[in-house]
A and B are shown apart, each in its own frame.
Chain A
């Protein structure tokens, strides 16, 4: 089982009844041995360019544990799912994320020591 991050772009026409579409996708994931640990719904967003003749889409991000061998099967099923206009499956670089988080907290501590104003970013100085 590996952790994957799956971004799904739903047909914007389904926004009124998203439940059915999300359930369908979640079923695809769980049916193939996946365990959804987190979902992040961004709602309807304008696309930077048209995808399948749509200029907006409903963005939903899933964090899922999937056995590696079923990823290809999930990909092929998502490809023929009409509700999904585009998807992306990636393995997040957990090491890099942890490192970035550690760096952030270290910096925050340092800033607190110096008594910096926390409403100002470093770049703006």
Chain B
């Protein structure tokens, strides 16, 4: 499976306002990509999920895209 990033990203913090970055971690239907694809560590993936959910709440990211 092709990873989004070849190397592990050392981004220590995902900001819910930075939806441009978060967008790279969701698929075309707006679903959060799995760790297999993102290549993140477990804790990074957890923080990413929280950031994406917050971004969804304030309308920066869709809950369901192309519905």
Contact = CB atoms under 8 A, between A and B. Distances in A.
Given A61-B17, A96-B47, A103 B59 contact: no
Give chain A's interface secondary structure class.
strand
Interface string B1-16: 0000100001111001
Given A49-B63, A123-B5, A7 B12 contact: no
B49 interface: no
Interface stretch (A29-37, A64-72, A86-94): A86-94
A92 to B, nearest CB: 9
Contacts of B13: 93, 96-97, 99-100
B1 to A, nearest CB: 18
A108 interface: no
A62 to B, nearest CB: 12
A61 B47 CA distance: 20
A99 B12 contact: yes
Contact of B57 (A61, A86, A96, A99): A86
Contacts of A100: 11-13
A9 B10 contact: no
Given A61-B17, A88-B54, A90-B54, A9 B59 contact: yes
A96 B15 CA distance: 10
Interface of A: 7, 9, 47-49, 51, 57, 59, 61, 86-88, 90, 93, 96-97, 99-100, 103, 123
